[in-house]
Structure 1
Amino acid sequence: MTTTPLSTTLRIPTADRSLITHTMREPAVFEPHPAPFRSRSVYAAAHVVVDVRGDYQPGVQAPIDWESTIAFRKHLFSYGIGIAEAMDTSERGELGLDWAQAKELIRYGNDAAREVGGAIVSGAGTDQLATANPSLEEIVEAYIEQVEYVESCGSAAVLRASHALVGAAKNEDDYLEVYRRVLAKATKPVIVHWLGTVFDPSLRGYWGHEDLREAMRVVLTLLDANPAKIRGVKFSLLDDPFEQEFRALVPAGVEVFTGDDYGYTDLLLGDGKTHSHGLLGVLDPIGPIASQAFAALDAENEDRFRDVMNSTIPFAVKMFEPPADRYKTGTVFIAWLSGHQSHFRQVSGREGFRSIQHLTDLFVGADALGLFPDPDLAAHRMRTLLAVSGIE
């Protein structure tokens, strides 16, 4: 990466309620890498851009700015970062995208991937269910409908955790039977998403157990029983040692995709025996930097990979600080400052779910990484946000 001179300054708040002068750093220029990487499978769970000119209310179906949404995916593809489409970062679910909109997103995302040769997988769940207490049969049918749609668009499915299933299942056997029947209909090997309560407390007891080792036993049983149907497991528990333990136990050929946005460097590098692949929300804002690291890993330069990825960890820890599910606000915020969209609004209307100080810290962290292609624009937009927030 190279840099260019810059001297933009602005006043920003600090945690002690004072104001300090911040000088924008020189913007980094990241080398494009339009082909997927060889050493690791890498997917960003990418955000969606709402059409703020539409007349919408948060919590009611929001109009989507498809042009900006797909342009952002092409931005990530240009750095070799694949897309995990219609996942949690897209604000899919309650107050956000419904299944009809997710279908459009999956179709448009797959079209863009084919156009540029990008890697893509797409989320399949049960969020189209309208009944309050669906049966296991209805849950199976909902999963199958979405898997078939995803595959018809050209990608393999990521089986998203089902809120309906956690409510309907009585024990681990119910989970295993639902997944077995869904997998039987899949024509492409899927990625199973194990989403922990740190991201979604309503999923407590998923796999039939609150104890994580009992839950792991169920997941391993699922993998052992369906070797040809499961490509991998997306592990989203934010528990580095437990991910390594799980990774050592999965059957040969099954990939573990880390969702650990706190400690991804060492998990992606591995321990010499096993390693994780990447399916991360943090790759939405840091894609250009991560691209340089994965290119180095392809060249067997592990030291450079470690140095580049470790430089992003403080930013990621800030973005995903508890409650971790509010990281989506940060992805939209950084995309706005970076010029990828014209506003700082979310599909679900949750742009106020993080404090101004949190957003300021993200701004400083992103600037330190050289993430802003146009630092003058980023500084102007940050000043505007602070002004409308009463901080001048």
Structure 2
Amino acid sequence: MSTLRLLDAAGAVTDAELREGGGYTRPSAPLQSRVAYAAAHVVPKVHADNTPGRPADIDWDSTLAFRRNVYSWGLGVADAMDTAQRNMGLDAAATRELIARSAEVAREEGGSVVVGVNTDHIAESHISLEQVIDAYTAQLHFTEEQGAGPVLMASRHLARVAENADDYRRVYREVLSSATVPVVLHWLGPAFDPELAGYFTSSSSSQGGAPDDWQAASAVLLDIIAENPDKVAGVKMSLLNAESEISVRERLHSQESTQGVRMFTGDDFNYVGLIGGDTVGQGEGHSDALLGAFAAITPVASAAIQALDAGDPARYLEILGPTEELSRQVFATPTFYYKTGVAFLAWLNGHQPAFQMVGGLHSARSLPHLSRIVELANDSLALENPDLARERWHGMLRLNGIDAGSVAR
């Protein structure tokens, strides 16, 4: 029997049995019952200056191989979004190159790719509404030229300058009018980016830390979609609030003008029920998926959707249900550091040579936090090669002065 050494917040060590992998198989045909994208991270060169504030120096072989692996499991890739460290280390030049390279890999693999469109190439922190529109449009057109599907991300620039809901309506109306293909709108909550508080309703600088009114924001979002139904393919909601997503989803499907708009869950706390939807008693209809969590558990996510394709919701819950506790640990407060857990699992699972991240973000979580990720990944069969994961994790413990050498195999 192989065992894992675990470390708690008090410094105590315990041993747990290392479980065998799930033995999941890649799909032999495209997934049918849900559209699912894994929001992928980037892998830096090990020898690069991966310190805060330095330009991203990407290991393209590992970064693109990760995307090819996602495609092999039947999932699509969501790229150049917050999981790829947009606004947290991925600079504008690296973003453009990532989009171009990722789109090329998607064509080679026959996979589906969507990528983030934002205003973050503008260095100034405060710009006018007209400049926000121009910045969005520039990135939108570049994305379209690469042949990738656009995801219109929430803009910090817009959050700072918008005074009311009409400012949001105006910006989205003008940007969407210039789109040549339907886009996905992304509503990213303040748990992921505190600068986006009050999005769709008012300036984030006026919120004073008050909780978001998701009902008011939802009304504005639905107005934007209803005004531009041919320009919107879907909505990705990342509020970590299942009630809000179900409410918007049901309203989308009840309005004739928006019935073709997909709801992509970005709720890494509650995705099992939201994706299962009415199949598992979670509201009417279901959500599709665009999740950072799915980059961390790609084989498990694929196997679960394959179970839905086979008409077996019980097996879906059996496979995917245990991963939700793992995801809640990865996305624990402060949620915006979840990228560290995604990269950590990619390293444990052999998808990158070292636990390194752009901007030094590999140091953003504590050793006990990572230990809990190891424990929950083991419990939910998310370790693709358990022996490799054990070897790498125990090496990390030793590097940090924790004795893992006496753990029995």
**TM-score when normalising by structure 2:** 0.91
Structure 1 counterpart of 2:161, one-letter code: A
Asked if residue 254 in structure 1 is aligned to residue 261 in structure 2, the reply is yes
Instruction: Give the counterpart of 1:366 among 368, 377, 388.
Output: 377
Q: How does 1:1-392 map to 2 (within 5 A)?
A: 7-33=1-27, 35-94=29-88, 96-209=89-202, 210-250=212-252, 251-271=258-278, 273-392=284-403
| Aligned CA distance change for structure 1 residues 35 and 87 (closer, same or farther; 3 Å) | farther
Give the distance between the partners of 1:9 and 1:370, measured in 2 at CA. Answer: 15
Q: Once structures 1 and 2 are overlaid, which stretch shifts more, 296-305 or 328-337?
A: 296-305
Percent identity over the alignment? 43
| Aligned CA distance change for structure 1 residues 244 and 56 (closer, same or farther; 3 Å) | closer
Q: Once structures 1 and 2 are overlaid, which stretch shifts more, 304-313 or 33-42?
A: 33-42
Contact 2:50-2:360 at 8 Å conserved across structures: no
Residue aligning to 1:3: none
Secondary structure of 2:275 counterpart: helix
TM superposition shift of 1:84: 0.7
1:231-254 CA-partner distances (Å, limit 9, x unpaired): 111011111112111111122111
Contact 1:24-1:367 at 8 Å conserved across structures: yes
Secondary structure of 2:20 counterpart: coil
Give the distance between the partners of 1:40 and 1:27, measured in 2 at CA. Answer: 24
Give the distance between the partners of 1:379 and 1:387, measured in 2 at CA. Answer: 12
Contact 2:6-2:375 at 8 Å conserved across structures: no
Contact 1:13-1:19 at 8 Å conserved across structures: yes
| Aligned CA distance change for structure 1 residues 46 and 36 (closer, same or farther; 3 Å) | farther
Structure 2 counterpart of 1:198, one-letter code: A
TM superposition shift of 1:34: 6.4
Give the distance between the partners of 1:35 and 1:341, measured in 2 at CA. Answer: 27
| Aligned CA distance change for structure 1 residues 199 and 132 (closer, same or farther; 3 Å) | closer
TM superposition shift of 1:194: 0.6
| Aligned CA distance change for structure 1 residues 350 and 102 (closer, same or farther; 3 Å) | same
Secondary structure of 1:295 counterpart: helix
TM superposition shift of 1:316: 1.1
Contact 1:35-1:117 at 8 Å conserved across structures: no
Contact 1:34-1:77 at 8 Å conserved across structures: no
For the aligned residue pairs, the C-alpha RMSD in angstroms reads 1.5
Secondary structure of 2:358 counterpart: coil
Give the distance between the partners of 1:151 and 1:35, measured in 2 at CA. Answer: 28
TM superposition shift of 1:313: 1.2
Q: Once structures 1 and 2 are overlaid, which stretch shifts more, 329-338 or 13-22?
A: 13-22
Contact 1:372-1:378 at 8 Å conserved across structures: yes
Contact 1:34-1:79 at 8 Å conserved across structures: no
Give the distance between the partners of 2:385 and 2:277, measured in 1 at CA. Answer: 35
Structure 2 counterpart of 1:29, one-letter code: G
1:273-323 CA-partner distances (Å, limit 9, x unpaired): 321110011001111011011111112222211221112111111111111
1:309-345 CA-partner distances (Å, limit 9, x unpaired): 1121111111111111111110111111111111111
Structure 2 counterpart of 1:309, one-letter code: L
Q: Once structures 1 and 2 are overlaid, which stretch shifts more, 223-232 or 195-204?
A: 195-204
Contact 1:35-1:118 at 8 Å conserved across structures: no
Secondary structure of 2:320 counterpart: helix
Secondary structure of 2:360 counterpart: coil
Secondary structure of 2:289 counterpart: strand
TM superposition shift of 1:387: 1.9
Structure 1 counterpart of 2:398, one-letter code: A
Give the distance between the partners of 2:394 and 2:272, measured in 1 at CA. Answer: 33
Residue aligning to 2:207: none
Give the distance between the partners of 1:270 and 1:56, measured in 2 at CA. Answer: 41
Contact 2:33-2:309 at 8 Å conserved across structures: yes
Give the distance between the partners of 1:155 and 1:23, measured in 2 at CA. Answer: 43
Give the distance between the partners of 1:157 and 1:307, measured in 2 at CA. Answer: 33
Give the distance between the partners of 1:329 and 1:121, measured in 2 at CA. Answer: 22
TM superposition shift of 1:35: 5.0
Contact 2:214-2:244 at 8 Å conserved across structures: no
**TM-score when normalising by structure 1:** 0.94
Secondary structure of 2:150 counterpart: strand
Residue aligning to 1:4: none
Structure 1 runs of 4+ aligned residues shifted over 4 Å read none
Give the distance between the partners of 1:156 and 1:190, measured in 2 at CA. Answer: 7
Structure 2 counterpart of 1:221, one-letter code: D
Give the distance between the partners of 1:34 and 1:167, measured in 2 at CA. Answer: 47
Give the distance between the partners of 2:361 and 2:302, measured in 1 at CA. Answer: 29
Q: Once structures 1 and 2 are overlaid, which stretch shifts more, 64-73 or 203-212?
A: 203-212
